[in-house]
Every structure is written in structure tokens, then in C-alpha cells.
Amino acid sequence: MSMYKGLEHVQFGHIAAEEEERALRSYFLETPEYVDILQTPERILVIGRKGSGKSAVYLSLKDAGEGKIIGLTLQDYPWEIHKRIKDSGAPQEHIYVNSWKYTLWVLLAKEVIGYSRPSKFRLWDPVWWRNLLNGNRRYLKNFLKRAYGSIAPSFTEVLVDRARNIRLFQIQGVKVESDVGPPEIRLSQLINFANRELESRILSLLPSKDAEPIYLLFDQLDLGWDGSEESKLLLIGLILAARDVMRAAIERNKNLRVILFLRSDIYEQLRFEDKNKLSDSIVRLVWDENRLRDLISRRIQASARGDWNDVFTDERLRSSQSPLRYIVKRTMLRPRDMIRFCSFALECAKSHGIERIDNACIYEAERPYSDYMRNEIIDESKSLQSARIDVLFETLKELGKEIVKKEEFLVVCRQRGIDGALALQELIALSVLGVYRRGGSRGGSRVMYRYETPSWENLRPSDELRVHPSLKYALELTEPRKHQGG
């Protein structure tokens, strides 16, 4: 007997994981990538497009991971101040590595002091006495008190004081010869010495491999992103610092995890010498039709004790597509898109008082969903420093067709004073336009969008291109009656 409670109880949740942290516990989908992150210490970088589920993974690790979890977001981070703290003697791509390493060590110092402190006083326990009298622990405690006036400085206070100025401090047992120059130069000098002093002491106090780990998680790294060279160097510095800290921990057989969550479109713009060597350190979040169905079914189960077949019709839509295939084709293979489309269809079904989401509601959902996708792409275009995405949308709207001939597009761009070749690159990079690829076992052609291809593959414009089906209504496009392989 089915336990399904009915459509009125179904909820698909919020499209942003950070807005539903508590509810996420009941329907988070553990993908193979999530298990890989948990089980492989070498993984330090989680990469995915905007809306691909990075924050959901971050929140689930923060909530369910074993051991001590330090979850940090960059929402209020003092990026502009950090930009002034450079290691002037380092190669360009390494100028922020030491300042980030220092930040990581200070955050870990706070935790190992608490981690190695026994929960209650036990006179007869030799381990308790070893922890109490541990010289490295005492050193770190004194260091934090001298530098910050507290053994628990906040994340945003590590490099700046409470007046939002460059922090200056003295390091016990370390002598810096020069005390002249701007504060940021003096702080950079101190940091280089501090890292050497802190690293060995903190590593000695980190949990061993057979103990519960310490997790240091960084989410929302795109919040300080403006596409400038300084922003790129700051992110490169954090990535390399995380790599160096993890290498040191692994060499000492310590159970530490440092994991960064970063948008793939931003990571692709970073250029540094060791980037190819990081391939084994990266987990890429990948979604397909079956996983997106499982994502929705998990939410149906959590809210109404049902699954996909209880909620969606099994009638075929245009081109004899199943409801699942039809909806997925209008996403960019991201959980956020799938949740949004299904939510619009659910609103329609509930408003009409029907028992399942039917074809009419799926078609009706396309219109508000199309506006949502347009806004998502406008937001994502900021990472490419494209200030003209609205102009490019208007260009496509003027052409008025889902299938765009390249030469016609270039003509309209010239009339508008736009670099047409560059515009095509941007629209393909954002998956607004897909390219046709000829051939295959059945002949004809198929459309490939950027989100369907490996990150290293460059899609070149074909003679004809296709606007992503999700944008049909937002751009008021007409559908072609017949197209080979379309």
C-alpha cells in the first residue's frame, strides 16, 4: 500500500541550499562525488557551476561530517584589505600564498587549543596532564592572546583589527629586523616568520589518522570576485595555501581536511603554473537526467512520502518526450534549475486542484521559468565581466528565432556596433547558444551546450546555432518547424 500523502503535501524546497539548511538534512542526495570528498583527503577543491549544489555539499559536510567542523563563508571577508598584504619577494602568482597560509594556521590554532583540551579534569589521567603541560599548546595560546587579545579571533579579524585596519602584532620569540614602511609591508614580513613558527607547533597538535578529523571548509568564494587580476591572484593564493597546508598534514599523518568550494567558470579563468598538477585534488559536481530525477524524488519522499511517478504525469509531451526528459532539456543540468522548474509546475497543479502535475502545467511553467533562467544568466555573466549581456539578449530577440544563423547574427551585431565574434564566444560560454555537431551513428546533428562539455574543450561556433530552449519565452523566440537533428 502506497504511503503517498498527496500533491498538497509536496514541497521541492528552496533553490538556494543556504536558505534551507535545516530542511536539507532530510533530503540531501549523497552522490558519488560527495562520497569521494568524504573519503579522499587529497581532495581540496570542489568545482561546479552556479547552482550545481556546491553550497549543499558544504552545508551537508558542515552538518554531518565527523570530527571538528569549521565552516566559513566569505560573505563579509575584508578582500580589499587583504589585497594590500602581499609577499613582494614571491613570484606573481604566489604573492598571497603566505597571507592565506597564515590565516589557515591561525584558524587551526584556535581549534587545536580546544581540540587538545580535555573535556573535564582527571587527576589520574596522564594524557590530561600531557595536554595541560604541552609546550606547543601553551605557545599557541600565548600567541593568540598577544596578537589578538583573545584565543578565539574571528575569521575576519585574522588580518585586520576591529577598526578594519591592517593588523600589527608581535610574535613571541621572533625578531623582525625592520619596523619601517607601511603596515602591510611589516605585516607581510611578520607573516612569513609566523608561518614557520606556527606550522610545526600546530601539526604536532592536529589529530592523528586514527582520530576524528578537523574540517576547514570555505564556501561562497565568488563573493569577493570582480574579475580583476587581484581577485584572480587572491583565489590562486588560497588554493595554493590550502594545498601546502594539506601536504604538510598528510606528510605528518594528520587527519586534517581543507576544502574549498568554487564556481567552475571562475576557476577556468585562473592561470597559474601548478594548475594541471591539481587535477587529482579536484572534485567536479556532475549531474545528469537520472540524478536530477533522484534529487526531486528525494524531496517528494521527505515532504509527502512519494516519488517522481506519484507527482508527475506519464503522458508524453512534444516530440514524444517524457516529462522528465522535457524538463531536464530546459535546465543546464543543475539542481537549482530542476528545482525551480518543478516548483513552477507544482504551483500550477496546486492552483488547479489536480492530483498530478500534467502536461498543461509543465507547459505553463515554462514561461516564468524562462524569466528565471534569463536572470540567472545575467547574474552568471558578471564572472566574465560582460556588461552587455542585456544588449546580446536584445540582439537575439531581434533575430526572433531559436535557430540562429551565424552570418545573420554577425550582421546584426555590426549594425549595433558590437564585436560579433566576441559576442558569440560569450554566449556560447554562458550556454545561451549551443553549437551543432554533425555526424553520429544516426547521421544528422545534435546541439552541444557548454555545460555538457569538458572544461578544457573549446566549442567553436557552427554555421547555425541554437538558443537554449529555456530562453524561448523570455526572448520571445519562434520555434523552428523542422530542422535536421534539432
340-369 tens-digit pLDDT = 999 999 999 999 999 999 999 999 999 999
Q: What is the reported pLDDT for 175? A: 45
- The answer to whether 140 and 112 are in contact (CB under 8 A) is yes
pLDDT tens across 236-282, in order?
A: 999 999 999 999 999 999 999 999 999 998 998 899 998 989 999 99
Neighbours of 436 (CB within 10 A): 20
Query: In the chain, what are the domain boundaries?
Result: 32-284, 288-381, 386-486
170/241 Cα distance (integer angstroms): 23
- Going by C-alpha positions, the residue among 377, 322, 369, 314 that lies closest to residue 344 is 369
Choose between 435 and 444: higher pLDDT: 435
The single residue listed with the C-alpha cell 509531451 is 317
Give me 268's grid cell: 577556468
Of 159 and 298, more confident: 298
Mean pLDDT of 61-89: 83
Q: How confident is the model at residue 177, as a pLDDT?
A: 43
In this prediction, residue 445 carries a pLDDT of 79
Question: CA-to-CA distance for 142 and 172, rounded, in angstroms?
Answer: 8
DSSP of 417-473, one letter per residue? T--HHHHHHHHHHTTSEEEEEE-STT-SEEEE-GGGS-TTPPPPPPSEEEE-GGGTT
What's the pLDDT score for residue 486?
Answer: 41
Calculate mean pLDDT across residues 199-222: 91
pLDDT of 455: 66
Comparing 181-185, 346-350, 459-463, the range with the smallest average pLDDT is 181-185
The SS3 of residue 445 is strand
Q: Which amino acid is at 468?
A: H
Burial class (CB in 10 A: 0-12, 13-18, 19+), 59: buried
Instruction: State the DSSP H helix or E strand holding residue 464, giving kind and residue range, or none if neither.
Output: strand 464-467
Nearest-angstrom CA–CA distance, 61 and 33 = 12
Mean pLDDT of 419-431: 93
Copy the grid coordinates of residue 352.
488547479
Using CA atoms, how far apart are residues 468 and 434, in angstroms rounded to an integer? 7
Q: Tell me which amino acid residue 69 is.
A: I
- Which cell numbers hold the place of 198? 606556527
Task: Name every residue whose Cβ is closer than 8 Å to that of residue 440 and which is 6 or more positions away in sequence.
Answer: 446
**Mean pLDDT, rounded, for 24-32:** 86
Tell me the pLDDT band of 483, cut-offs 50, 70 and 90: very low
Separation in Å, CA 318 to CA 326, 346, 360, 373? 8, 20, 12, 21
> Alpha-carbon distance 449 to 209, whole Å?
43
The sign of the torsion formed by the CA atoms of 390, 392, 398, 401 equals negative
Q: Can you state the angle between helices 406-415 and 420-429, rounded to 10 degrees?
A: 120
| All cell numbers assigned to 279 | 587535477
- Strand 45-48 versus strand 256-263 pairing type: parallel
Architecture of domain 288-381: Orthogonal Bundle (1.10)
